[in-house]
Structure 1
Amino acid sequence: MSNWFKRNGIHFAIGAIFFVICFLYLTPAFQGKVLGQADVIGARSTTTEIEAYKAKDTTILWTNQIFGGMPAFQLWAPYKANITTHVIHALNTVFPNPIDTLLLFLFGTYFLFIVLKVNPWLSAAGAVAFTFSSYNIILLVAGHSNQAFAIAYFAPLLGSILLALRGKPILGGALTALFLSLEIRANHVQMTYYLMLAILILAGIELYHAIKAKTLNNYLKSLAYLGGGLVIALMVNASILWSTYDYGKDTIRGQSNLTQHTTEPSTGLAKDYAYQWSQGVTECFTFLVPNAYGGGSGTEHLDQNSATAKVFTQMGQPEDRAVGIANQIASGSSQIGLQGLGTYWGNKPGTSGPFYFGAVICFLFVFGLLIVKSRLKWWILATVILTMLLSFGGNWPVVSDLFFNYFPLYNKFRVVESILSVAGLCFPILAFLALKEIIEAPDSKEIFKKLKLSFYIVGGLLLVLIVVPELLLSFRSTEQANSVTNLTQALQNDSRTAQAVSSAIVQDRISLEKADAIRSLIFVVVAFGLLFAFAKKKINATILSVGFLVLVLADMWQVDKRYLKSEDFADKQESVTPQPREVDQFIQRDADPDFKVFDATAPLLYDTHNPFFHKSFGGYSAARLKRYQEIIDNQFTKSVNHDVLDMMNVKYIITADPKTQNVTMQANATACGHAWFIQKVKYAKNADEEMQAISSFNPKEEAIIDQKYKSLINEKDALLDTNATIKLVNYSPDHMTYQSSSSGSQIAVFSEVYYDKGWKMYIDGQEAPYFRADYILRAAQIPLGNHKVEFIFHPASYYTGETISMVGSILLVLSLGFAGYIENKKKTTPPAKAAKA
């Protein structure tokens, strides 16, 4: 055992260094504070009802808290049969977010570099480079926890696959099963999809070399073990994948129901929506110079020496006020249409910060392209080129459109720039393979020539960006002219000042770029100096490796602190829940368990306030139902359809006084209630007719029903009974009980969202058919007499999937145990003695 500790002492030392880095970078988190992440607050608003039932030790898979009601699969579900759920929970219990995520990045990437046979100190430097790639840190600040988790598993998953392809198929296959299970459990399909594209390229290159080297049998054997790992990972996550697949067909990423008067595509997302956050072609200079495009929206602070501030000081404004005005303009405020005058001048609607891979890493990446002999270089180069082309989206759609139109699932994803997270891993891999190459062949004159060539290329580019940056960058936003017009109006038609501000903000953008270009050049010079000293035998390999660890950490740390600062942390209670307004407190006094609130002062699709306190007509979720989206698009874009509010049982409407902006509330006296019997049915031929019919109708008296449900309605038995009643007697989001009483068969409409993949209706304990009415609601024909009517949500995708997950989890544990046994046996079995001649 003592020998084992000695052999692995350096790994323990590096592990300790990782913990120290985490502690220093996330000190407030270790003190119990949390990031006040806007998206985390938004996500928690959607799970208000779910959390209330979790507190009662009750699992619910449906919530009525947002968008009238929706499955909880993409918000929160327990997935208890999935072993990785418990692994993640244990990790999060010991190391709260974002500490756990940062540690996963560091240790997972370190594992990958060790598999690549890079020495431990360089492996640690590589782990720091990928972990602190600016996009990963920005995700933590924004609260995109699932996305960050998914990216954190990129490196160990790739390491496991490479293990299998490099002679350890059993161990590699078992670890692939583990890390792919964790990757899928992170539940960010988009990131997993992007990684799979890179893995397919790797598999193709490996196949080519296997055929060329006549080692196809070994390749196919490795592929078989990896395939086994894939099957196990899919089984472990069966409930997640099945539920997501089932639900996905009915979300905004699924097929459109309408053929007329719709902005929705026939299937997938609208291209403009999917491409909204596309990387600018020349914006890729931020890989090397973080502020090449002005940094993030509102992240860069202009001081009294900035050109924009001087415009106002020269007008006689006090210095502090001039700086304040300058920063208000430079933040790119959308409230008065000044997006084009922000320090960030790219085409995105806004950005929290750039993709910065590191000046040192970019220099070494170019060096790696010239000297690395491993076939991994060609995989990395192909992956980087593809991910860059796809990240351009609408800015250079030639390749993106091919994928969007023809590749399965690709049109389900938005924020296409996020594919650069894959490139963010490829850059440091090639960078440190280059360092590995120079350490293993320090006397090669050819390597030294290529080192100088790399320095001339990267250093020369940086000199251009310092001396004449306008040769490569325009520093002008496409919205600049419109913003100048808006600023002119805001300045009471003072066009001269507006033009002066426009010119000044361009100068400030150039200043920001130049300052960072100088900074990057300094780091590149130091990196070159380290390599030059090693080549001249002034320092050894250990000093070189530790030197690069320190240099990379210093480079990335400085930039990342622009986006994740200590002041971004807050006490836990302060960061989680907004304060209720007076109208919220009044509505909360209503003891009715199931009604909805419509807030005309909040954006329907981005309402993160009301769901904390009420069941909201709006909400915040990128996985909302397509039919609900279509109702919002058609009935609430130009004006508010009060009939739809009534049928959705919107009991309270919140408005604001147009003059004073004081928020007020009024009760909706015409709300239809939880359920009601209608007097007549109007059939529609298709979804278009349904949508048109609900534009103006009396939901209390009539129901608009698709004619495909006509066979479920017996109109001959339906007798009008004005004294008939149906009322909600017991409420749970996934189990609702009603009591009906009538002297004849009646058609009932329920103010609950229709979703046929899991909801079942029972009358007196016997399953009975139900159908859709009024485009989005549930309806059913209830027989005469007194009856107990129940709606129960019990989706097979989840419950049957959990059984498969349990089997997969057992297989995962067995495969890891078997792989460990085989590896241990190899180490303890002495090599066979050579036969005597």
Structure 2
Amino acid sequence: MNNWFKRNGIHFAIAAIFLVICFIFLTPAFQGKTLGGNDVTRAQSTQKEINEYKAKDTTILWTNQIYGGMPTYQVWAPYKANLTSWIVTGINYTFPTPVGTVLLFLLGTYFLFIVLKVNPWLAAAGAVAFAFSSYNIILLTAGHANQAFAIAFFGPILAGIILTLRGKHLLGFSVTALFLALEIRANHVQMTYYLMLALLIMVGIELYHAIKNKTLNDFLKSLGYIAAAVVLSVAVNASILWSTADYGNETIRGKSNLTQHTTEPSNGLPKDYAYEWSQGVGECITFLIPNAYGGGEQGSTDPDSHVIKALNATGADPNQVTGISANYLPLYWGNKPFTAGPFYFGAVICLLFVWGLMIVKNRIKWWLLGAVVLTMLLSFGRNWPFVSDLFFNYFPLYNKFRAVESILAVAGFCFPILAVLAVNEAIVNEDKANLFKKLKIAFYITGGIVLIVAAVPSLLLSFSVSEQQAGVIAQIGQALKTDSSAITRALIADRESIAQADAIRSLIFIAIAFGIAWAFLKKKINPTVASLAFLALILVDLWGIDKRYLNHDSFAPKQDNETPQPREVDQFIMKDKDPDFRVFDVTQSIKGDGLTPFFYKSLGGYSAARLKRWEELVDNQLSKSINQDVLDMMNVKYIINADPKTQNVGMQVNQTACGHAWFVKSIKYADNADQEMVAISSFTPKDEAIVDKQYKSVIDEKTLGAGAGEGKIELTSYSPDHMIYKSGSTASQIAVFSEVYYNKGWKMYIDGVEKPYFRADYLLRAAQIPVGNHTIEFKFEPASYYTGEKISLAGSILLVLALGGAAYTENKKKAPAAKPADKKKA
């Protein structure tokens, strides 16, 4: 055991250094503070009802807190039979958020570089380069925790695949299965998909070399182990994947129900929506110069900036000037709607990456280059759609994802790998003269670009003002009674200024990196010193940029981030003890309402996994004008609005809300979804139900007696995934429930016996209730979760056995053979 610690002492030392880096970089997290990004707070509102039941040690798989109701799969679900759930829980309990994620970035990538046989200090430099790439840090600031968590496993997954391809089949299989299972558990399918897309290129390259070198049998054997690892990781996550697949088909990513009353595609996301956040072709210069495109969406607050000087010249109040500059005159000038910050891979990393393209002999270089080129082309989206459109139209599942720029997370992973391999090649390659020649070329390329931007920025960059920005500037000029063109010129000057400043900054880092490489190639420093120097330089480079987006001001005391302060109307509505009514807040975006669900169940909400039928209902009945009948049928009890003149927030009680459930007098059949949508545009939900004709077989019209609409049905017990009603009537009647219809798990029981139910009014549940007094229960019992959990348990057991077997086998290989003398003594 002591020998094991000695052999691995340097790895423990580096892990300790990583922890120190995290402590310094994320000090407020260790002080009990949390990140308070906009997406963080909106996510908390989505989880409000889930957390209330978690506090009671109760798990719910359905929540009515947002969008009228939806499964919790894409919000939070326990998945207790899944081994990786316990690993994730252990990480979250051990380290404050987001320290655990940053450590995973560092340790996972470090492991990859060790597998690639890089010396530990150089491996640490590569791990820092990936972990502190600006996009990863910005994700943490914005609250995209699952996405960052998924990206953190890129390194160890690749490490497992490389081990398998090298012939270490059991170890590679186990490592790949474990970290791919954790990747899937992160529940960010988009990032997992992008990684798999890039790995397909690797498989193709390896296949080519296997055929060329006549080692196809060995390759196919390794590929079989990798495939088995994929199958096992899928089994471990069976409940997650099955539930997501079931639900995904019913969301905005699924097939459209409408053909005439929709502008959406028949399947997948609308292209404009998917491409909304597309990387500008020229914007890739930010890999090297972070503020070349202005950085984030915030404007300048520097009193010496051109904009603030121009605004001050108008005689406006200084505080007003700072607010106008910061909030209405963004320094970012790309064509994304807005951005939190750039994809900055690091000036040092870019220099070494270009060097690596020329000197690295390992064929992994071609995979890295291919992955970078493909991800860049796909990230351009609407800005250069030729490749992106091919994938969007023809590649399976690609059209399910939005914000195509996020695929650059894969490029951000590839850049440090090739950069580190370049330094490693310089260490092992004896032809130092040729290496230095190629280093100078890399220096001329990267240094030349930044020198041009530093000297003549307008030669490569336009710093243009968009039409929308020009309109805002015109309004500011009019309000301040000044020439708006002066503000425009000042804004462009500020954009040029920060681009020049960052170009000079990058040039300095490139020059220092060149100096370190030169010193090593000229044998003035040894490999360890060079590796440590690169580690320090990369950390300083990325640290300085990351602190623009994640700093002490990004954190707040935990209680301040948990719940916003209720307004006066919120305080009034919260006095209502009804367990299941809805609120429609007109002052909020219904599809992005992160405020209302903090306090009560909302017709709106915040989630990218909205049900397609809800989306279609909102687009057709509540967007252009508000259909009161739809509010009534959704049991919207309170409507929050704002006075158009004073903007004071007020509230009105909806006296015509239908309640939790009601008997209707008549049924009107529709041939399809289009007819249903037209029918609910003007109807009386309390009296009639609009039903698709496909459900005719579920309704026994012969037994529907006289006095339809009479009788009583009321909610007597409420839990989001288990509702109990009591009914009493003198005839068999149709009841409509103000609950969202979702047939992938909801079951209805009448007096304990399961009975069929159907959809009514486009989105709600309905059922035929027999004459007399009855107890009606709706229970959410999805097979995708409960059966999936059994499969997950079996998969988890197999994964533990595989990991144990791999550890035993590797330990046995490393155990020293007994000496002859020792055998005699024995």
TM-score (norm 2): 0.97
Deviation of the 1:310 alpha carbon: 2.4
Partner of 1:654: 640
Give the one of 605, 616, 632 matched to 2:591.
605
Give the whole-Å Cα distance in 1 for the aligned partners of 2:300 and 2:653. 46
Partner of 2:310: 311
Structure 1 residues 317, 603: CA separation in 2 closer, same or farther (over 3 Å shift)?
closer
Map residues 177-196 of structure 1 onto 2, 5 A cutoff.
Answer: 177-196=177-196
Give the whole-Å Cα distance in 2 for the aligned partners of 1:204 and 1:612. 49
Partner of 2:71: 71
Deviation of the 1:482 alpha carbon: 3.9
Deviation of the 1:327 alpha carbon: 5.8
Give the whole-Å Cα distance in 1 for the aligned partners of 2:532 and 2:405. 33
Deviation of the 1:302 alpha carbon: 4.2
On the 8 A contact 1:79/1:239 being kept in 2, the answer is: yes
Mean Cα displacement is larger for which, 662-671 or 99-108? 662-671
Deviation of the 1:129 alpha carbon: 0.2
On the 8 A contact 2:165/2:219 being kept in 1, the answer is: yes
Map residues 453-602 of structure 1 onto 2, 5 A cutoff.
Answer: 453-477=441-465, 479=466, 481-492=467-478, 497-602=483-588
The alignment status of 1:732 with 2:731, answered yes or no, reads: no
1:593-629 CA-to-partner distances (Å, cap 9, x unmatched) read 1111111111101111111111101111110100000
Partner of 1:665: 651
Deviation of the 1:92 alpha carbon: 0.6
On the 8 A contact 1:488/1:495 being kept in 2, the answer is: no
The alignment status of 1:614 with 2:600, answered yes or no, reads: yes
Report percent identity of matched pairs.
Answer: 66
Partner of 1:9: 9
Partner of 1:337: none
Partner of 1:328: 324
Map residues 627-706 of structure 1 onto 2, 5 A cutoff.
Answer: 627-706=613-692
Partner of 1:427: 415
| Residue aligned with 1:257, SS | coil
Partner of 2:783: 796
Give the whole-Å Cα distance in 1 for the aligned partners of 2:453 and 2:818. 59
1:134-172 CA-to-partner distances (Å, cap 9, x unmatched) read 000000001111000000000111111111112211101
Give the whole-Å Cα distance in 2 for the aligned partners of 1:734 and 1:6. 54
Structure 1 residues 545, 752: CA separation in 2 closer, same or farther (over 3 Å shift)?
same
User: Letter of the aligned partner of 2:577 in structure 1?
Assistant: A
On the 8 A contact 2:473/2:487 being kept in 1, the answer is: no
On the 8 A contact 1:654/1:665 being kept in 2, the answer is: yes
| Residue aligned with 1:418, SS | helix
1:725-771 CA-to-partner distances (Å, cap 9, x unmatched) read 11111111111111111111101111000001101111111111111
Deviation of the 1:460 alpha carbon: 1.1
Structure 1 residues 116, 831: CA separation in 2 closer, same or farther (over 3 Å shift)?
farther
The alignment status of 1:756 with 2:752, answered yes or no, reads: no
Deviation of the 1:97 alpha carbon: 1.1
Give the whole-Å Cα distance in 1 for the aligned partners of 2:310 and 2:751. 77
Give the whole-Å Cα distance in 2 for the aligned partners of 1:30 and 1:522. 33
Partner of 2:824: none
Deviation of the 1:494 alpha carbon: 7.7
Map residues 151-300 of structure 1 onto 2, 5 A cutoff.
Answer: 151-298=151-298
On the 8 A contact 2:316/2:480 being kept in 1, the answer is: no
Give the one of 347, 350, 361 matched to 1:373.
361
Deviation of the 1:212 alpha carbon: 1.2
| Residue aligned with 1:369, SS | helix
The alignment status of 1:626 with 2:622, answered yes or no, reads: no
Deviation of the 1:316 alpha carbon: 4.2
Deviation of the 1:495 alpha carbon: 8.6
Partner of 2:806: 819
Partner of 2:332: 344
On the 8 A contact 2:312/2:321 being kept in 1, the answer is: no
Give the whole-Å Cα distance in 2 for the aligned partners of 1:587 and 1:308. 45
1:253-273 CA-to-partner distances (Å, cap 9, x unmatched) read 000000012122111100000
On the 8 A contact 2:68/2:634 being kept in 1, the answer is: yes
Give the whole-Å Cα distance in 2 for the aligned partners of 1:282 and 1:642. 48
Mean Cα displacement is larger for which, 654-663 or 185-194? 654-663
Give the whole-Å Cα distance in 1 for the aligned partners of 2:651 and 2:429. 76
User: Letter of the aligned partner of 1:408 in structure 2?
Assistant: P
Give the whole-Å Cα distance in 2 for the aligned partners of 1:220 and 1:830. 33
Mean Cα displacement is larger for which, 486-495 or 783-792? 486-495
Give the whole-Å Cα distance in 2 for the aligned partners of 1:687 and 1:818. 55
Map residues 78-157 of structure 1 onto 2, 5 A cutoff.
Answer: 78-157=78-157
RMSD: 1.5
Give the whole-Å Cα distance in 2 for the aligned partners of 1:276 and 1:438. 42
Structure 1 residues 442, 566: CA separation in 2 closer, same or farther (over 3 Å shift)?
farther
User: Letter of the aligned partner of 1:581 in structure 2?
Assistant: R
Give the whole-Å Cα distance in 1 for the aligned partners of 2:11 and 2:599. 49
Give the whole-Å Cα distance in 2 for the aligned partners of 1:57 and 1:166. 47
User: Letter of the aligned partner of 2:232 in structure 1?
Assistant: I
- List runs of 5+ in structure 1 lacking aligned partners: 334-340
1:451-484 CA-to-partner distances (Å, cap 9, x unmatched) read 111111111111111112222111104x2x3432
On the 8 A contact 2:314/2:482 being kept in 1, the answer is: no
1:266-304 CA-to-partner distances (Å, cap 9, x unmatched) read 111000000000000000000000000000010x53423
Partner of 1:397: 385
Structure 1 residues 330, 577: CA separation in 2 closer, same or farther (over 3 Å shift)?
closer
Deviation of the 1:385 alpha carbon: 0.1
On the 8 A contact 2:154/2:195 being kept in 1, the answer is: yes
| Residue aligned with 1:705, SS | strand
Deviation of the 1:355 alpha carbon: 0.1
Map residues 50-65 of structure 1 onto 2, 5 A cutoff.
Answer: 50-65=50-65
The alignment status of 1:361 with 2:357, answered yes or no, reads: no
Give the whole-Å Cα distance in 2 for the aligned partners of 1:173 and 1:675. 54
Give the whole-Å Cα distance in 2 for the aligned partners of 1:57 and 1:313. 58
Partner of 1:718: 704
On the 8 A contact 1:308/1:326 being kept in 2, the answer is: no
User: Letter of the aligned partner of 2:556 in structure 1?
Assistant: A
Give the whole-Å Cα distance in 1 for the aligned partners of 2:549 and 2:336. 18
Partner of 2:823: none
User: Letter of the aligned partner of 2:38 in structure 1?
Assistant: A
Mean Cα displacement is larger for which, 606-615 or 714-723? 714-723
TM-score (norm 1): 0.96
Deviation of the 1:374 alpha carbon: 0.6
Give the whole-Å Cα distance in 2 for the aligned partners of 1:50 and 1:485. 43
The alignment status of 1:449 with 2:437, answered yes or no, reads: yes
Mean Cα displacement is larger for which, 489-498 or 628-637? 489-498
User: Letter of the aligned partner of 2:451 in structure 1?
Assistant: L
Deviation of the 1:54 alpha carbon: 1.2
Deviation of the 1:831 alpha carbon: 11
1:20-39 CA-to-partner distances (Å, cap 9, x unmatched) read 10000001101111111211
| Residue aligned with 1:801, SS | helix
Mean Cα displacement is larger for which, 718-727 or 199-208? 718-727
| Residue aligned with 1:716, SS | helix
On the 8 A contact 1:720/1:746 being kept in 2, the answer is: no
On the 8 A contact 1:301/1:327 being kept in 2, the answer is: no
1:757-805 CA-to-partner distances (Å, cap 9, x unmatched) read 1011111111111110000000111111111111111000000000000
The structure 1 segments of at least 4 consecutive aligned residues displaced by more than 6 Å after TM superposition are 493-496
Give the whole-Å Cα distance in 1 for the aligned partners of 2:468 and 2:144. 32
- List runs of 5+ in structure 2 lacking aligned partners: 821-826
